[in-house]
A and B are shown apart, each in its own frame.
Chain A
Amino acid sequence: MSKLLDVQFNKKTLAVRLVVATILGVLSFLVFYFIPSNLSTILSLITTPNVRRIVSVLLLTVIDPNLSSVGLLITLLTLLYALLYGSKVHGYITTSLGLSFVAYAYLLFHGGSISIEIPKELIPRLSGVITLNLKLLMILFMLPGFLIALKGILEIVEKFNRRS
């Protein structure tokens, strides 16, 4: 039996935590980092070269360059969330994870207003910008993040009260 950050581990619980952490980590890595970062490559497998070129240009506009960094942060925090469940730092990890989700939703929806420049290749001699106002959807997707962060804060407060 070993103790790390107020959490006692035996071989069994460590193994379970590692398995859960790995599954959640891989899932979040795929969903929040790998797919958004390689969307154009993934789409290239199922589309024609012409469509691929247009989609690549569109994705450059739609996917924020910071999204993958936040996705990677979410993966890391998810791993820690599962590994260090019940530890004294778990509240901080939960809060950070919640705020990361909020940041991810904010970047995904470009702050609620996405401007897509129509690629020149799409229709010759046509140029234009389509602006999507998605504030309500963004808020909806930010809500779970806020609630997770709130949960983390409550956990910190609870741990603080227990010590004092």
Chain B
Amino acid sequence: MKLVNKILNVAIVVSVLLAFTILGVFVWNIVQVSSSISIGKPSMKFLDSKIELPINISNLGPFSIHEISVKVIVFDEYGVKILEGTTEPLKVEPASTLQTKIVMNLNVSTLPLEKLLTENENLSVKANVSISVLPVVKVTGKFMYELTWDAPLRELKIEKPKVSFYNATRLQVLLPISFENENRFVPVDTKVEVRVFNATSNVQVGLGYINIKAPPTSSFSGNLTTLVKLDRSTVSLLFNDKLLRFRVEFTGTYGNASISFRRLFNLSWGAPISNLKVGIPSLHLYNLTHIKFVLPFNFTNNSEFITANGSLRGVALDLKNNVVGIVEPLSFNVTPKKFFSGELVGYIETSVLTEKAVILKLTLQTSFGSVEIEREMTLHV
């Protein structure tokens, strides 16, 4: 019994020493591992959906560091998962140094980039971290962090476009663009490609570029100048007021990442020759062979930026389509939002007086092109 007692006494002392020794070595191991960790600058590769974090860990041992893994999920303020990332588990054997990159694979398919760029959000970041120091301890951590996301393109505005006439098929459009970079860390420095589409027909009608530079917590305002092709019928645009709807697609590049978003803008198109009215002609005997006619006509230039200039000329045809008279050319130059009233003067042969009417075939020549107008004129001298 005494021997058993002695053995027990030794066992008690050994077990106490063992417990404290293992605890001490474990603490020392953890302290030296944690002090050896050096983390490099993270690199974000949006195109590969990865965040890489260079890391250097030395483990002098004796314990093995297993299963260093991190899982991060980001939720928007409505609790919808917008981003998920997981690392591949790392292992550092005793008496070894690990130089590697913690690769976090991101699922960016659900990331509402446009929303994050333009709207402030209260995001929730949920992270699960797991580290095992075999065989002594396994540490798991569940964290929730409320992250206030300040949009780098907050209050992105396209002001009312300034449109000017470029040529018969194109308009020069000046798009004033402004935004606030409210983010404290993310600078905006990019060349933005801007494509303009006809929102109805979906046909690209313009292309332009703008350099955007806005350091953190600054504002930006600049103008994008682009030529917008009028893909509608020019005749239709010459005579009819319309609401032209455009879609502007911005594509910015940031490192390897390419970010696109779109905005709509409308352009109230005022017809340069709106409400064209041709009045009742008055006919007078001019000489023995010709009759003079005067045809009043008027229109309003409804455009805000186009000067309606051109000329009207033509011929008179009998019912058999023979030329029986001429219309004197009339030039006009009507500035935006002005009313024009004029008189067309022409001469027809007296021989056509046997006919009831003649056809006036007029050619309206403008910078938008030529338009043929036909009108019957009753003959009452």
- Which residue of chain B has its CB nearest to the CB of A127? B144
Contact with A along B100-141 (1 / 0, CB 8 A): 000000000000000000000000000100000001111111
4 closest A-B pairs by CB: A128-B143, A133-B138, A140-B19, A125-B146
| B-side contacts of A4, CB under 8 Å | none
Other than A131-B140, A151-B5, give 14 A-B pairs with Cβ distance below 8 A.
A118-B143, A128-B127, A128-B142, A128-B144, A130-B141, A131-B139, A132-B137, A134-B137, A137-B26, A137-B136, A150-B8, A154-B4, A154-B5, A154-B8
Task: Check: B47 CB closer than 8 A to any chain A CB.
Answer: no
Contact across chains for A154 and B1 when beta carbons are under 8 A apart: yes
- A120 to B: closest C-beta gap in Å: 11
| A-side contacts of B5, CB under 8 Å | 151, 154-155
Which A residues contact B (CB, under 8 angstroms)?
118, 125-134, 136-137, 140-141, 143-144, 147-148, 150-151, 154-155, 158
- Which residue of chain B has its CB nearest to the CB of A152? B8
User: Among B9-17, B80-88, B295-303, B332-340, which stretch is in contact with chain A?
Assistant: B9-17
- Which residue of chain B has its CB nearest to the CB of A150? B8
- Which residue of chain A has its CB nearest to the CB of B26? A137
Task: Check: B285 CB closer than 8 A to any chain A CB.
Answer: no
| B-side contacts of A118, CB under 8 Å | 143
Contact across chains for B12 and A148 when beta carbons are under 8 A apart: yes
Contact across chains for A151 and B8 when beta carbons are under 8 A apart: yes
- Given contacts A132-B137, A133-B138, A147 and B12 within 8 Å (CB-CB): yes
Name the contact of A137 in the complex, choosing from B137, B141, B147 (C-beta under 8 A). Answer: B137
Give the number of residues in B that approach A within 8 Å (Cβ atoms): 28
Name the contact of B145 in the complex, choosing from A125, A134, A143, A151 (C-beta under 8 A). Answer: A125
Task: Check: B244 CB closer than 8 A to any chain A CB.
Answer: no
- Which residue of chain B has its CB nearest to the CB of A147? B12
Q: Tell me the bound Cα distance from A125 to B146 in angstroms.
A: 5
Contact across chains for A133 and B137 when beta carbons are under 8 A apart: yes
Task: Check: B98 CB closer than 8 A to any chain A CB.
Answer: no
Contact across chains for A151 and B12 when beta carbons are under 8 A apart: yes
Q: Tell me the bound Cα distance from A6 to B140 in angstroms.
A: 54
Q: Tell me the bound Cα distance from A137 to B8 in angstroms.
A: 21
Q: Tell me the bound Cα distance from A134 to B27 in angstroms.
A: 13
- B307 to A: closest C-beta gap in Å: 61
Q: Tell me the bound Cα distance from A140 to B146 in angstroms.
A: 40
Q: Tell me the bound Cα distance from A68 to B162 in angstroms.
A: 79
Q: Tell me the bound Cα distance from A154 to B136 in angstroms.
A: 32
Q: Tell me the bound Cα distance from A61 to B246 in angstroms.
A: 61
- A61 to B: closest C-beta gap in Å: 14
Q: Tell me the bound Cα distance from A158 to B12 in angstroms.
A: 19
- Given contacts A151-B5, A151-B8, A140 and B139 within 8 Å (CB-CB): no
- A137 to B: closest C-beta gap in Å: 6
Provide a sorted-by-A list of 27 A–B residue pairs whose CB atoms are within 8 angstroms: A125-B145, A126-B143, A127-B144, A128-B141, A128-B143, A129-B141, A130-B141, A131-B139, A131-B140, A131-B142, A132-B139, A134-B137, A136-B136, A137-B22, A137-B26, A140-B18, A141-B23, A144-B16, A144-B19, A148-B12, A150-B8, A151-B5, A151-B8, A154-B1, A154-B4, A154-B5, A154-B8
- B234 to A: closest C-beta gap in Å: 59
Q: Tell me the bound Cα distance from A132 to B137 in angstroms.
A: 7
| B-side contacts of A126, CB under 8 Å | 143-146
| B-side contacts of A147, CB under 8 Å | 8, 11-12, 15
- B273 to A: closest C-beta gap in Å: 64
- A155 to B: closest C-beta gap in Å: 8
Contact with A along B144-170 (1 / 0, CB 8 A): 111100000000000000000000000
Q: Tell me the bound Cα distance from A94 to B140 in angstroms.
A: 38
Q: Tell me the bound Cα distance from A158 to B2 in angstroms.
A: 10
